[in-house]
């Protein structure tokens, strides 16, 4: 039994943080499902940018869509929906077997909408309808403007992956938006079992303080933040408010660890995987991290429900001048800007590929 299966059997879902057409067409994703216990998949603008830029696998589809007058963002979302619904089809047996707990694929709305509630909600509803798959999460950023869109999407019965969460406070705000949507469904006599995950980004914390803290604190901040957030997650699940919703038929919004690839070349390639093992959570891994886990990984001790020593560790960061609250806000803002940058690069790649393919077709 490799470590991916061990982690799965422990109760943590192993998801892949990547999608490309090659991954689907070559059977590699199916291999990961069968051999590495992968039960879901996430994507983002950066992933699609790299996939389309570095491959000819999309060229024929781009030509076909151009022949129908598609360009820019509409052309991209047609490509993305083809990939994501293809992945969702592979995960559908898992979704059916687990009755909707697992087996999900995720697609993000345009990051240009991160601070526009109404446009985000309109895009979410459009993508959900066009996908026509029950096991597709639409990703909505957990920004201040994203929170009302999360609540409304859940109330409308649309499964949501809340993205760009960095702290306990940001996670709790997203969880409460989810729960408000669920409670409104219960009050309206609607089925409350709408799927959701809340994605907390880990490695970017340590990247943000690299070279700014003493050596003993190196690569400790992300894990401490995760432990603090996990404690809040467990407390929320145990609260009377959540349990009333669950008793009415709701499903827990699972906590998802994102950005779990190790950025520090001096650290273990499985630093965040080993440290964040916990039942009823998800770890979405870059492809290299997934392969490393299957090849030479070991599963660490289960996360303590009380957060363990997280507050002591965070106190040490405070003494060396790290303002965790301010940094959480900064990381969320930077994350949103980073996705916008990737989105703009992606649109440029679509435009340049379209132009090149049009020229070659005309020639």
Residue ranges covered by each domain of the chain: 3-362
Question: Does position 81 have pLDDT exceeding 70, yes or no?
Answer: yes
pLDDT in tens, 118-173: 999 999 999 999 999 999 999 999 999 999 999 999 999 999 999 999 999 999 99
Helix (H, G, I), strand (E, B) or coil at 240: helix
Coil vs helix vs strand at 194: coil
Q: Indicate if 353 belongs to the active site.
A: no
Checking if the pLDDT of 362 tops 70, the result is no
Q: Does residue 102 carry a pLDDT above 80?
A: yes
Say if pTM beats, i.e. exceeds, 0.85. Answer: yes
Per-residue H/E/C for 12-35: EEEEEECCCHHHHHCCHHHHHHHH
Residue 176 has pLDDT above 90, yes or no: yes
Q: What pLDDT, on a 0 to 100 scale, did the predictor assign at position 1?
A: 81
Which pLDDT value is given to residue 361?
65
Average pLDDT over residues 203-220: 97
* Half-sphere exposure (Cβ direction) of 289: Cα atoms closer than 13 Å: 25
Exposed e or buried b for every residue in 307-335, given b needs 16+ CB within 10 A?
bbebeebbebbeeeebebeebbeebbeeb
pLDDT in tens, 245-280: 999 999 999 999 999 999 999 999 999 999 999 999
Of the chain, the percentage scoring pLDDT greater than 70 comes to 99
The listed range with the strongest mean pLDDT (107-116, 306-315, 343-352) is 306-315
List, for residues 10-49, the tens digit of each pLDDT value.
999 999 999 999 999 999 999 999 999 999 999 998 899 8
- Residue 13 φ then ψ, to 5°: -75, 135
Three-state secondary-structure class, residue 173: helix
pLDDT value of position 359: 80
| Average per-residue pLDDT for the chain | 95
pLDDT of residue 357: 84
Q: What is the mean pLDDT of the segment spanning 284-291?
A: 97
Beta strands in 307-362 (DSSP E): none
Query: What value does the CA radius of gyration of the chain take, rounded to a whole number of Å?
Result: 20
Dump strand ranges (E) for the chain: 12-17, 38-42, 104-108, 136-141, 160-165, 196-201, 254-258, 281-285
Which is it for the CA torsion 146, 150, 152, 158, positive or negative?
A: positive
Query: 65, 139, 231, 353: which is the annotated catalytic residue?
Result: 139
Rounded to an integer, what distance in angstroms lies between the CA atom of residue 140 and that of residue 22?
26
Q: Name the class of domain 3-362.
A: alpha beta
Q: How far apart are CA 144 and CA 164, in angstroms?
A: 11
Query: Would you state the pLDDT for residue 356?
Result: 86
């Amino acid at each position: 039994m490799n470590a991916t299966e061990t982690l799965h059997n422990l109760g943590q879902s192993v998801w892949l943080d990547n999608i490309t057409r090659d991954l689907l067409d070559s059977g590699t994703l199916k291999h990961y499902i069968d051999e590495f216990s992968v039960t879901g998949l996430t994507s983002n603008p950066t992933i699609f940018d790299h996939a389309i830029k570095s491959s000819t696998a999309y060229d024929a589809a781009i030509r076909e869509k151009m022949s129908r007058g598609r360009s820019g963002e509409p052309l991209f979302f047609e490509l993305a929906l083809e990939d994501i619904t293809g992945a969702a089809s592979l995960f559908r047996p898992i979704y059916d077997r687990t009755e909707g707990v697992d087996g999900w694929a995720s697609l993000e709305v345009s990051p240009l909408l991160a601070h526009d509630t109404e446009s985000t909600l309109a895009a979410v509803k459009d993508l959900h309808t066009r996908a026509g798959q029950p096991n597709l999460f639409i990703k909505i950023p957990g920004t201040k403007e994203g929170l009302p869109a999360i609540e409304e999407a859940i109330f409308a019965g649309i499964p949501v992956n809340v993205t760009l969460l960095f702290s306990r406070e940001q996670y709790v705000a997203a969880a409460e938006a989810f729960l408000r949507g669920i409670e409104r469904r219960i009050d309206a006599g609607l089925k409350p079992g709408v799927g959701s995950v809340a994605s907390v980004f880990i490695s970017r914390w340590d990247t943000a303080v690299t070279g700014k803290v003493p050596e003993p604190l190196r690569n400790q901040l992300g894990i401490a933040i995760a432990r603090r957030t996990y404690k809040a997650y467990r407390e929320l699940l145990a609260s009377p408010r959540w349990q009333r919703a669950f008793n009415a038929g709701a499903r827990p919004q699972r906590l998802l660890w994102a950005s779990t690839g190790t950025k520090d070349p001096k650290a273990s390639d499985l630093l965040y995987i080993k440290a964040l093992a916990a039942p009823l959570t998800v770890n979405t891994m870059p492809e290299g991290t997934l392969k490393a886990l299957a090849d030479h990984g070991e599963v660490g001790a289960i996360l303590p429900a009380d957060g363990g020593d997280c507050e002591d560790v965070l106190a040490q960061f405070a003494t060396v001048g790290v303002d965790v609250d301010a940094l959480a806000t900064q990381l969320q803002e930077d994350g949103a800007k980073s996705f916008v940058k990737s989105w703009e690069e992606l649109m440029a790649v679509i435009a340049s590929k379209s132009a090149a393919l049009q020229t070659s077709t005309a020639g």
